[in-house]
Chains A and B, each alone.
Chain A
Amino acid sequence: MPVQYAGVIDEVRAVRTAAGVFDVSHMGQLQVGGSAAHAFLQGVLSNDLDRLAPGEAQYTLLTNERGGIVDDLIAYRREGGYLLVVNAGNRAADVTHLAERCPADATLVDESDAHGMLALQGPESLALLAPLCEGIDPLEAAAFTFAEARVAGVPCTVARTGYTGEPGVELICPATEVVELWDALIGAGAVPCGLGARDTLRLEVCYPLHGNDITEDTNAIEAGLGWVCARDKRFTGSDVLAQTISDGPRRRLVALRMDEERAVPRPGCPILAGETVGVVTSGTFSPTLQRGIGLGYVPSALAEPGTAVVIDVRGRTRTAHTARKPLYVKET
């Protein structure tokens, strides 16, 4: 996926107002099967798979013993097993982490290279997709559900998931047919979108990016992801996370909104409140909000939305406030 096609601002606008398509074929697809698949994954993923019926999906974390985040992913429950869609950059680490813990009566297969994947996102995306679908009506599908269907003749897993905060689908298809699928979606009116727009859109709705905002060394509670950490089951690191909850997290991942119109926080910029108290982990200019925005870690005492902070942007001090997540909320 290139950084941009026509330009980040136009691509962001397309996804917020119409429909855009991203080639996310770099993402990993891991199949977990066997009689112990469910029990195995319940022990290594933070969210509760008992809440899923076949055909349903959930956002979840692969955690380590320290309560850190090996990866964030979406788990799709199928009859007889699970599909895990993981970050490209973590695919090898995920496979290693899972294989080390995989019992004899569960199977783990990395099918990433066999699959292409496109994300069609935006308020018009489902209506755009509907006439191309055989066997399902995407307009009737609930968020975080999925089904097998042909789209423009290409066999796909059609999932009502995404990374933009807009309605949309992610389509997983044979790698050999992904170009045909892409061309069909462009032909139907979707705007081609790149990595720059994808990162900006996810940051506007405060979805964390693994490697920036969450890592093996960031505690899931500090990262604000307690909502995907089940309290009534044991999983890798759950004792550490329970302790973090009872002690209160030392720091928190907060949304940041610059006070000035033309100042943009960037990853690595120090966050100051008298002295350096934290660091920006993601930052961009938001075309939708017309403002520099970001995510960063601050001590819990400064995490309340509306707290004034200063961000050191390459030697210039810029004022900002912590803000309620998500930064962008669609007007209804």
Chain B
Amino acid sequence: MPATESYPDDLRYHREHDWARVDGDIATFGVTWYAQDSLGDLVVYLPPEEGAEVTAGAEYGELESVKAVSGIVAPASGTVTEVNQAVIDAPELVNDDPYGQGWLIKVRLSDPAELGALLDATAYATHVAGA
């Protein structure tokens, strides 16, 4: 079942519709409810390699739905420590559970100060309401 719209308070958000869940110097990245809803039924996830460097604001992978393709933007910079194999095998997990089972990569942050530039849930919800 598709998820219902939500923007959890414990996440930080990038304007390009990506979220970060921070735990010390490790962050988990994914895309927001808004992003998956805009793309529709997802069928392909092309992730970065483990060990790859990702850069805040730059694309690190691709999500593809039946009808559209989108780059996935990193909310912060760092080194990829883990890729969610479950989403490679079943991209619809991002539609079903974008903040849980549908996470995309884990990253060892290189500059945690970058997180200060991200939006909180309220600001992001306002951003998408005006999008």
Seen from chain A, the residues whose Cβ lies within 8 Å of a Cβ on chain B are 3-4, 6-10, 196, 199-200, 262-264, 266, 284-285, 287, 314
For A6, the closest partner residue in chain B by CB is B2
**Given A196-B66, A284-B67, A287-B66, A4–B43 Cβ distance below 8 Å?**
no
Which residue of B41, B44, B62, B69 contacts A9 across the interface (Cβ within 8 Å)?
B41
19 contacts between A and B (CB under 8 A): A8-B41, A8-B65, A9-B41, A10-B41, A196-B66, A199-B67, A200-B67, A262-B44, A262-B91, A263-B44, A264-B43, A266-B69, A284-B67, A285-B44, A285-B64, A285-B65, A285-B66, A287-B41, A287-B66
**Given A3-B40, A9-B41, A264-B43, A196–B2 Cβ distance below 8 Å?**
no
Q: How far is the CB of A212 from chain B (nearest CB, A)?
A: 13
Which residue of B40, B44, B91 contacts A7 across the interface (Cβ within 8 Å)?
B40
Provide the residues of chain B in CB contact with A262, threshold 8 Å: 43-44, 91
For A260, the closest partner residue in chain B by CB is B44
Provide the residues of chain B in CB contact with A7, threshold 8 Å: 2, 40-41, 95
Q: Decide: A314 and B40 in contact? CB cutoff 8 A.
A: no
Provide the residues of chain B in CB contact with A287, threshold 8 Å: 41, 66
Which residue of B66, B67, B69 contacts A314 across the interface (Cβ within 8 Å)?
B69
Once the chains are docked, how many angstroms separate the CA of A284 from the CA of B43? Answer: 10
For B92, the closest partner residue in chain A by CB is A9
Please provide the 10 A-B residue pairs with the shortest distance between their CB atoms, ordered closest to farther.
A8-B66, A9-B41, A285-B43, A196-B67, A262-B44, A285-B66, A7-B41, A8-B41, A8-B40, A4-B40
Once the chains are docked, how many angstroms separate the CA of A86 from the CA of B91? Answer: 37
For B64, the closest partner residue in chain A by CB is A264
Once the chains are docked, how many angstroms separate the CA of A9 from the CA of B62? Answer: 20
Provide the residues of chain B in CB contact with A3, threshold 8 Å: 40, 67
Provide the residues of chain B in CB contact with A285, threshold 8 Å: 43-44, 64-66
Within 8 A of A (CB), among B66-94: 66-67, 69, 91
Once the chains are docked, how many angstroms separate the CA of A120 from the CA of B62? Answer: 35
User: Could you count the A-B residue pairs with CB atoms below 8 Å apart for me: how many are there?
Assistant: 43
B contact residues, total (Cβ < 8 Å): 13
For B67, the closest partner residue in chain A by CB is A196
Q: How far is the CB of B98 from chain A (nearest CB, A)?
A: 14
Interface SS majority for chain A? loop
Once the chains are docked, how many angstroms separate the CA of A266 from the CA of B69? Answer: 9
Once the chains are docked, how many angstroms separate the CA of A7 from the CA of B91? Answer: 14
Provide the residues of chain B in CB contact with A4, threshold 8 Å: 40, 67
Within 8 A of A (CB), among B2-49: 2, 40-41, 43-44
Provide the residues of chain A in CB contact with B44, threshold 8 Å: 262-264, 285
For B88, the closest partner residue in chain A by CB is A262
For A8, the closest partner residue in chain B by CB is B66
Q: How far is the CB of B117 from chain A (nearest CB, A)?
A: 28
Provide the residues of chain B in CB contact with A199, threshold 8 Å: 67
Q: Decide: B66 and A200 in contact? CB cutoff 8 A.
A: yes
Which residue of B2, B66, B91, B95 contacts A284 across the interface (Cβ within 8 Å)?
B66
Interface string of B88-106 (1 = CB under 8 A from A): 0001000100000000000
For A284, the closest partner residue in chain B by CB is B66
Provide the residues of chain A in CB contact with B66, threshold 8 Å: 8-9, 196, 200, 284-285, 287
Provide the residues of chain A in CB contact with B62, threshold 8 Å: 314
Once the chains are docked, how many angstroms separate the CA of A7 from the CA of B41? Answer: 6
Q: How far is the CB of B123 from chain A (nearest CB, A)?
A: 28
Provide the residues of chain B in CB contact with A314, threshold 8 Å: 62, 69
Provide the residues of chain A in CB contact with B40, threshold 8 Å: 3-4, 7-8, 196
Q: How far is the CB of A49 from chain B (nearest CB, A)?
A: 36
Provide the residues of chain A in CB contact with B91, threshold 8 Å: 262
Once the chains are docked, how many angstroms separate the CA of A7 from the CA of B67? Answer: 11
- Extra A-B contacts (7), CB below 8 Å, given A264-B69, A287-B41: A7-B2, A7-B40, A7-B41, A8-B67, A263-B44, A284-B67, A314-B62
Q: How far is the CB of B39 from chain A (nearest CB, A)?
A: 10
